[in-house]
Structure 1
Amino acid sequence: MLHIENLTIRRGPDYRIALPLLSLQRGEVAAITGASGCGKSTLLEMIGLILRPETLDSYRLGDSATALDIADLLHEDRQKALADIRARRLGFVLQTGGLLPFLSVRQNIELPRRMLGLSVASEPVEDAIERLNLAPLLAKKPGQLSIGERQRVSFVRAIAHEPDLLLADEPTAALDPIQARKLFELIIELVRRWRIAALLVTHDWDLVRDCGIRNLVGVPDDKAPKGGTVFHDAA
């Protein structure tokens, strides 16, 4: 469903971040881990079509018969087409949550569907609201929520338009260990149920191991003469 080959970018004049190969199937969840400052969020932004890579051999998104070939769009810097893919095919969970403070929880969740002209009535969305215990919060504004509640709402909003790929940057970083584990496990469960592919940046190696998901680890790149990180599947 997602296939990327030879994706690299420079952060500053010297530091290189590289992803030699990544393939994800529908319903598959992978973590992105590594030392602080190694480029995990930068990698996520490259995969999320926010940053333009320095090199890229292949980037395909979607089922084989209808997969989008995104590499040419990135090479040609076709921003309008890339923005449309981000809106329709990708879902983002930011560290800060990114909820609009002047909208209610319900309105925040419905926003991606409204912007894409989709019906706001969605059985999977209602299922996610129930599973994450958000029903009592739907009329509230983000400022009235706890950090954990905001992160749960942000996750539902990110998948409300049923994207192909979910990208989450430290979705549990501000939570205590018990709440972090609960949210992490719920994200994995719902991603598998909805058959979305997902990449989750996290610093919590124990949580990744305990949940038994795939782990892309950032290690020093020996081929980068002035320093860098290369992301590989953990052995």
Structure 2
Amino acid sequence: MQNIAMHISNGIINGPVAAIYAAFALVVLTFCVIRGRRDLDDRLAPMAGLVAAFIFAVQMLNFPIFTGAVSGHLLGGALAAMLVGPWVGALCVSVVLIVQALVFGDGGVAMLGLNITNMAIIGTAAGYLLIALLLRVLPRTPAGLAATGFVSAVVSVVVASQGFILQYWLGGTTDLGGSLGGLAGTMAGAHLLIGIGEGLITATTVVTVAKVRPDLVYALRGLRTVPALSNPVTGGAR
């Protein structure tokens, strides 16, 4: 069984491209650290630890796809973005990826820049951009929050998977069979299925947290200018 794109193993992408992405990931994560410090408070700091632990757990679960020929796993970028924001969220996912590579050998250490770019940076950014849009047009009710979490998770997973296509085009060293377009389609289709599962988990988790402690949901706190509608998750509190 082949775990496609998530995580990338050593040798699939050549050294120069891997080095470029490592430098890119380092620059982006440095900015995330600087920007994330502004958000950290007594609520966000412990929440970040819980989010990282949860993402670590769900990423250990692999799902067979296409009659078991390939497998994939949840990413967690959209979930992290909703609960702790894009900056701290990207750092949470990155920490998980680093631990998995160094301790469990899940994804090549030389490919960390590629994996962090796809799952921590692209996945989290795509998820949060969609979250910011949807929470401005959907009612801030449990249903609206669930729809936001589900859609953003599905899209973020598919978009993150396509980051691998660009990387493979730039420096792929292993024959994965078929054309680049065919590989992109296979990646999108496989991760669409994964995204549906991740969307359900994201929607359920975020709504559960919001019903108990809406102040712990970063996405809700960041949209204070949006008026609450009927039966809001936040109960109208600001």
Bucket of the pairwise TM-score, normalised by the shorter protein:
0.3 to 0.5
Q: Higher strand share goes to which structure?
A: 1
Instruction: Tell me the TM-score normalised to structure 1 length.
Output: 0.32
Instruction: Kindly indicate whether structure 1 or structure 2 has the higher relative contact order, using CA contacts under 8 Å at least 6 residues apart.
Output: 1
Instruction: Tell me the TM-score normalised to structure 2 length.
Output: 0.32
